[in-house]
Structure 1
């Protein structure tokens, strides 16, 4: 009988095991039990792509539901306040709310549905009185400031009233910092900051073996170590290498995962990671930003200095500061220490060297990047 693959390498999909986040969830559970005013009821979660922000928000929601809370999960793109109100209005406890157009002169067939902050606040208050309310807001980098201000104001008022409410929002590090530092959103500065990092190798290795054994396959010696090294502590890559390794063993009709399966699974996962994570992340970078990334790749695998990257590009460090900052804001690179940068996404270094090439900046300029399907074609024009 075929055994179901336990790994789930789909963006935002809950994995079979949430690795390395036990302390965060335990603190949240205690906050729900301790009632309004507990600090872990307000969370700001930051991290780069694929590090598990959405999965953590899902897990917080699962915990809150077990405690009888109403949970509203929304993405932070435009219109999220309307979506929160709509979700609450669909709930039976607040079904009496009206969200029909209310601005004088607006006809019923208008595309937009107007609402007031008091409608949103009233809906949130009623939900908090009927078991509790958790709102999770994902991809904060896409949030319109006026909507973020509106939701923040309503949550602040509920907190002041002692309502049974919790709020967690997540996004790229620079975006989360930008939201809480806004002059009109100082209340959110008091939200507890949870920065998601890469996982520890021992946690990943144990998880690989336990997950596969629980799902019905034995694991040969060395398999977990190989998969752990390939995953580099990156939660999304954990799911990818696990999925394709399991798939390889299943296609052989075997209930044992062997090293040959790990080797095949890792190779397939690397190709999938390029198309699912790296290429979409590069899709919106400018030519100069791509040139900066390529220069970083040529400087080596570890953290590299600002000056070394600039010299590799043939310019002074100050002239490329804007590109560096924008790449940090987009969570493509990180600044782990003063004066140095590193890639935020694993295997970006290898990908750039392979697809962009090893041309020196004095010999080439990046003319344009064309993204076709799952392949990146970078045309380089020689001077």
Structure 2
């Protein structure tokens, strides 16, 4: 069974302690930003922390975080998301691409159902599968969002680069 997301308070604490041990100053706003960017995803926590560390001197700044994001996204896309996507069924992928193409970050299940032209029961089984796979998360009655950082960006770029939309 896959591990759940890491606790954001724990991530914040671990980042704070790691930067303190390395004698790198970090203000609370920057610390909160990098913590939230991980969305609790363990690989994101490690990878983003690595790049932020590499891109900062004695102080972690907004600039060092911004400099880290393209490298971080590239690693997520290449090392994690490509594999995650390849292991999903065509219907799971279609569900995700519909979510990615929705202008809102929190997507109504009714929107996905309309786009797929399928029944609520049909959609709910794929919703549950994707939640079990920890790719999406329930955000309230009839609503979901991506649980992984930059997953929407990945799907939109994959669709454009490879012509994948299912």
Indicate whether the TM-score tops 0.5. Answer: yes
User: How far apart, CA to CA, are the structure 2 residues paired with 1:200 and 1:220?
Assistant: 17
1:227, 1:266 within 8 Å by CA — same for their partners in 2? no
Match of 1:309 among 106, 112, 120: 112
Structure 2 equivalent of residue 272 of structure 1? 75
Does 2:158 correspond to 1:355?
yes
User: How far apart, CA to CA, are the structure 2 residues paired with 1:378 and 1:199?
Assistant: 35
Structure 2 equivalent of residue 283 of structure 1? 86
The answer to which structure has the higher helix fraction is 2
2:158, 2:164 within 8 Å by CA — same for their partners in 1? no
User: How far apart, CA to CA, are the structure 1 residues paired with 2:105 and 2:162?
Assistant: 23
Match of 1:228 among 35, 58, 65: 35
2:8, 2:36 within 8 Å by CA — same for their partners in 1? no
Match of 2:16 among 205, 209, 213: 209
- For the pair shown, the structure with the greater C-alpha radius of gyration is 1
User: How far apart, CA to CA, are the structure 2 residues paired with 1:336 and 1:259?
Assistant: 29
Q: CA deviation at 1:210?
A: 2.2
SS at match of 2:144: strand
Listed as ranges, the gaps of 5+ residues in structure 1 are 1-170, 174-195, 358-375
SS at match of 1:342: strand
User: How far apart, CA to CA, are the structure 2 residues paired with 1:298 and 1:204?
Assistant: 30
User: How far apart, CA to CA, are the structure 2 residues paired with 1:221 and 1:340?
Assistant: 31
Does 2:2 correspond to 1:172?
yes
Q: How does 1:73-92 map to 2 (within 5 A)?
A: none
Q: CA deviation at 1:283?
A: 1.0
User: How far apart, CA to CA, are the structure 2 residues paired with 1:334 and 1:293?
Assistant: 12
Greater relative contact order (CA < 8 Å, ≥ 6 in sequence): 2
Q: 1:101-127, CA deviations, whole angstroms, 9 ceiling, x for partnerless residues?
A: xxxxxxxxxxxxxxxxxxxxxxxxxxx
Does 2:43 correspond to 1:239?
no
SS at match of 1:356: helix
The answer to which structure has the higher strand fraction is 1
CA distance change for structure 1 residues 305 and 242 in 2, over 3 Å: closer, same or farther? same
Structure 2 equivalent of residue 332 of structure 1? 135
